[in-house]
Every structure is written in structure tokens, then in C-alpha cells.
């Protein structure tokens, strides 16, 4: 996804705390839920 790619780029760039917060928001907003769903299925 676009959000996932953006997170990877942000991590690679080491852009700081704001990026880390953004990544956590993305995980809490959907990514982590999808991962759990995949594991359960």
C-alpha cells in the first residue's frame, strides 16, 4: 500500500519522532488489525 511504502521510506530516511508517531498511527489505524486477521485465518 501507499501508506506502507511511505513508512518504509520514512524509516530509511530516519526523519525522527513525527515519523515514528505517523507509523504508529498507521499501525493502530489498520495495518496491525490486518496482520492479526491474516494470522487468525
Give Cα separations from 12 to 16, 27, 28, 38 (angstroms): 11, 17, 21, 26
- Segments making up each domain of the chain, as ranges: 2-40
Per-residue pLDDT at 33: 47
At 4 the pLDDT is 64
- The tens digit of pLDDT for each residue in 1-35 reads 556 666 666 565 555 656 666 666 666 555 554 55
Q: What residues have CB less than 8 Å from 11, skipping those under 6 apart? A: 19, 23
pLDDT for the residue 17: 56
Please indicate, yes or no, whether the overall pTM of this predicted structure exceeds 0.75. no
Amino acid at each position: 500500500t501507499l501508506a506502507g511504502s511511505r513508512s518504509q521510506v520514512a524509516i530509511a530516511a530516519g526523519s525522527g519522532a513525527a515519523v515514528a508517531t505517523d507509523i504508529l498511527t498507521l499501525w493502530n489505524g489498520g495495518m496491525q488489525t490486518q496482520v492479526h486477521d491474516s494470522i487468525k485465518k
